[in-house]
Amino acid sequence: MIHQTSIDLQIPFHDVDMMEVVWHGHYAKYFEIARCALLDKIDYNYPQMRDSGYAWPVIDLGIRYAQPAVFGQTITVRAQIVEWENRLKINYLITDKSSGLRLTKGHSVQVAVKLATREMCFASPAVLFEKLGLEVS
């Protein structure tokens, strides 16, 4: 089963520089918006994570820029879960909505941390497998 979702965003003026190009730091925000939509889809967004006793901090973020996004452009941001056994890795692809041209790709990695002890888990907790509809390995 592939767990992924896509969202569309129109680039606002406050995200661009004087050349009307998106500032590179905003891509992490676009990834986060898509990640939350994906986590909502599996009913395990940040409130549900907290309620299950875990925090899931981002420990790695990678971004590869191919083409700039610009003011007024509508982009599609796809988020796809690609790893879940020991960490939660999500790949992202940002494309121009009208042409499909690839603009940016990236990934984020999150690990489970027990809220009660603040200890990092070396394997993802069973609740993540349940939310993904998978058996615990």
Q: What is the pLDDT of residue 1?
A: 63
Q: What is the pLDDT of residue 83?
A: 97
Name the residue range of residue 40's domain. 4-131
**Over the range 44-72, which residues count as b (16 or more CB within 10 Å of their CB) and which as e?**
beeeebeebebebeeeeeebeeeebbbbe
Q: Is 43 left (phi over 0), alpha (psi -120 to 50) or beta?
A: left
Q: What are phi and psi of 104, to 5 degrees?
A: -155, 150
For residue 79, being part of any structural domain is answered with yes
For residue 136, being part of any structural domain is answered with no
For residue 42, being part of any structural domain is answered with yes
For residue 55, being part of any structural domain is answered with yes
**pTM of full prediction above 0.85:** yes
Percentage with pLDDT > 90 across the chain: 96
State how many domains the chain has.
1
pLDDT of 115 > 90? The answer is yes
pLDDT of 137 > 80? The answer is no
For residue 84, being part of any structural domain is answered with yes
Residue 116, domain CATH: 3.10.129.10
